[in-house]
A and B are shown apart, each in its own frame.
Chain A
Amino acid sequence: MKIHIKNGRIIDPKNGTDAVQDLFIAAGKVLSVGRIPDAFHPNRVIDASNRVVCPGLIDLSARLREPGFEYKATLESEMQAAVAGGITSLACPPDTDPPLDEPGLVEMLKHRARSLNQARVYPLGALTQGLNGKRITEMAELHDAGCIAFSQANAPLSDTNVLMCAMQYAATFGYTVWLRPQDVHLAQGGVAHDGEVATRLGLPAIPSCAETIALSAILLLAKETGARIHLCRLSTAEGVEMVRQAKSRGLAITCDIAATHVHLSEMDLGFFDTNCNLIPPLRSLRDRDALRAGLKDGTIDALCSDHAPVDDDAKLLPFAEAESGATGLELLLPLTLKWAAETKIPLLQALDKITHTPAKILGINAGELTPGHAADVCIFDPQRHWKIEPNALKSQGKNTPFLGLEVQGRVSFTLVEGHVVYES
Chain B
Amino acid sequence: MHSNPQLSKNGELQHLLTIEGLPATLLTQILDTAQSFIGVTEREVKKLPLLRGKAIFNLFFEPSTRTRTTFEIAAKRLSADVINLNISTSSQSKGETLLDTIDNLEAMHADMFIVRHAQSGAAHLIAQHVAPNVHVINAGDGRHEHPTQALLDMFTIRHYKREFANLRVAIVGDILHSRVARSQIHALTTLGVPELRVIAPKTLLPAGVENLGVHVYHDMQRGLKDVDVVMMLRLQSERMQGPLLPSAQEFFKYYGLTAEKLAAARPDAIVMHPGPMNRGVEIDSSVADGPRSVILPQVTFGIAVRMAVMSILAGN
Contacts and interface: CB of A to CB of B under 8 A. Distances in A.
Given A207-B207, A272-B125, A201 B120 contact: yes
B2 interface: yes
Given A202-B145, A317-B98, A271 B208 contact: no
A201 B182 CA distance: 9
Nearest to B20: A200
Given A317-B97, A317-B98, A202 B124 contact: no
B207 A194 contact: yes
Interface stretch (A14-22, A318-326, A353-361, A372-380): A318-326
Contacts, number: 74
A80 B264 CA distance: 70
B207 A203 contact: no
Contacts of B98: 317-318
Contact of A319 (B4, B119, B206, B207): B119
Interface in A366-388: none
B68 interface: no
Interface string A139-180: 000000000000000000000000000000000000000000
A318 B122 contact: yes
Given A271-B4, A316-B129, 18 more contacts: A196-B207, A199-B206, A199-B208, A199-B211, A200-B182, A201-B120, A202-B142, A202-B143, A202-B179, A204-B143, A270-B2, A272-B124, A313-B97, A317-B125, A318-B141, A319-B120, A320-B119, A321-B119
Interface string B198-212: 000000001111011
Given A202-B142, A317-B98, A320-B142, A271 B121 contact: yes
Nearest to A193: B207
B206 A201 contact: no
A207 B208 CA distance: 12
B99 interface: yes
**What's the dominant secondary structure at chain A's contact region?**
loop
A198 interface: yes
Interface in A397-416: none
Interface string A311-340: 001001111110000000000000000000
Contacts of A271: 2, 4-5, 121, 124
B117 interface: yes
A199 B97 contact: no
B144 interface: yes
B111 to A, nearest CB: 23
Interface string B107-127: 000000000010111101100
